[in-house]
Amino acid sequence: KQEVTQIPAALSVPEGENLVLNCSFTDSAIYNLQWFRQDPGKGLTSLLLIQSSQREQTSGRLNASLDKSSGRSTLYIAASQPGDSATYLCAVSRGNNRLAFGKGNQVVVIP
C-alpha cells in the first residue's frame, strides 16, 4: 500500500522567506504527483502536476521537484506572502488515477 508522508506537519515563517515543503512516498512506481492547496473549510486547488517522466514543474513563485528513485518531492514557494497561508497536500497516482494523499503541511506566513 502506498504511504505518503509530509514533513513538517506545520510551520510558520516570516513574510518574504522561502518555503520548503517535503513529501515522501513508499512506492516509486507512480504515474504522477500533484501538489494541492487547501484553505480552511474549502476544497482542493491543484497547484502543480509532475508526470513520472519529469523532474520538476514551475508555476510563478512555485517550483516542485520529483525524485522517483528516492520517493521524494519538494515544493518550494519563493518569497512567501500572507496569502500563501494554507494547507499544502501532496498526492501520488499509481494506476487508474487513484490518488494517495499525505496529511498535509499547514503553513502560516507571518506578516
Partner 1 sequence: EAEVAQSPRYKITEKSQAVAFWCDPISGHATLYWYRQILGQGPELLVQFQDESVVDDSQLPKDRFSAERLKGVDSTLKIQPAELGDSAMYLCASSPDGEAGEAFFGQGTRLTVV
For residues 111 and 97, give the distance between their C-alpha atoms in angstroms, rounded to a whole number: 38
Is the distance from CB of 13 to CB of 86 less than 8 angstroms? no
> Nearest approach, Cβ of 66 to partner 1 (angstroms)?
13
SS3 percent helix, strand, coil of the chain, rounded to 5, is 5, 60, 40
34 versus 80: smaller Cβ distance to partner 1: 34
32 is a site residue for partner 1 (CB under 8 A): yes
Which positions touch partner 1 (CB under 8 A)?
Answer: 4, 31-32, 34, 36, 41-46, 49, 51-52, 89, 91, 93, 95-99, 101-104
